[in-house]
């Protein structure tokens, strides 16, 4: 009975672990993480910047979408300069875990990226977080680069609120993009590099697979988790 209780406790802890807690476990298991190599011609592509909970699975999800060149994990939305992961997780920087998505406009549109963003959320109405990730550093933000993007985002949120699908208003805030700080190298490509991490196993992979299984036509060949 004691052993059964212990294993149930471990399982529950893994399921409830947040993105921040998961990092500590993974760093202990794997001290050296591979750096995700970025294409050298990113200047040719447009960018879209989103925040919605932990950036690990946001990055993994967008990288799997057709038309997306790559995605980078980082911090945005706050005032602190050169923020570290520890600073952001303390909730004192104003930044949110974010992803910068580089995409090919000949293959995917900004409104389609917005749809991916919202459809992949566990709960679009959750304030300051997604699932087990709670706090202002996990709040949902759409950073617009111009008024066209702002219009698309505002319109989609308005339609979602009017749809009757949700009991509460969509929580994502639409704000102007100012600065994106790339996260530490060990956060890049995290889901692929750390499949042993309990949070990755129980939250990240689950969330990405849920979207991919619901929208197989949106996923690049060979990118399913």
Closest residue by Cα to residue 223 from 215, 87, 96, 4? 215
Task: Give the active site residue among 14, 15, 19, 54.
Answer: 54
DSSP 28-43: HH-S-----PPPTTGG
Burial of 79 (0-12, 13-18, 19+ CB in 10 A): exposed
CB-CB contact of 186 with 33 (8 Å): yes
As a whole number of angstroms, the distance between CA 190 and CA 197 comes to: 10
Token couple for 47: 């960018």
DSSP 81-138: SS--HHHHHTT-S--EEEEEEEE-TTT--HHHHHHHHHHT-S-TT-TTEETTEESGGG
Assess whether 15 carries a catalytic annotation: no
Tell me the catalytic residues.
Answer: 54
């Amino acid at each position: 009975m004691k052993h059964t209780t212990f294993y149930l406790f471990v399982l529950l802890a893994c399921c409830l672990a947040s993105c921040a807690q998961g990092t500590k476990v993974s760093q202990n298991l794997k001290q050296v993480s591979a750096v995700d190599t970025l294409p050298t011609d990113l200047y040719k592509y447009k960018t879209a910047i989103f925040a919605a909970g932990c950036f690990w699975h946001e990055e993994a999800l967008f990288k799997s979408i057709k038309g997306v060149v790559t995605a980078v994990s980082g911090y945005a939305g706050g005032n602190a300069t050169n923020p570290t992961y520890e600073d952001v997780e303390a909730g004192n920087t104003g930044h949110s875990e974010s992803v910068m998505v580089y995409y090919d406009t000949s293959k995917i549109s900004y409104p389609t990226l917005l749809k991916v963003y919202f459809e992949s959320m566990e709960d679009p109405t959750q304030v300051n977080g997604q699932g087990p990730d709670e706090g202002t550093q996990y709040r949902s933000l759409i950073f617009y680069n111009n008024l066209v993007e702002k219009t698309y985002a505002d319109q989609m949120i308005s339609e979602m609120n009017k749809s009757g699908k949700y009991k509460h208003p969509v929580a994502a805030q639409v704000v102007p993009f100012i600065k994106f700080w790339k996260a530490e190298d060990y956060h890049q490509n995290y889901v692929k590099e750390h499949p042993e991490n309990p949070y990755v196993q129980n939250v990240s992979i689950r969330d990405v697979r849920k979207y991919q299984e619901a929208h197989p036509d949106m996923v690049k060949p060979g990118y399913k988790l």
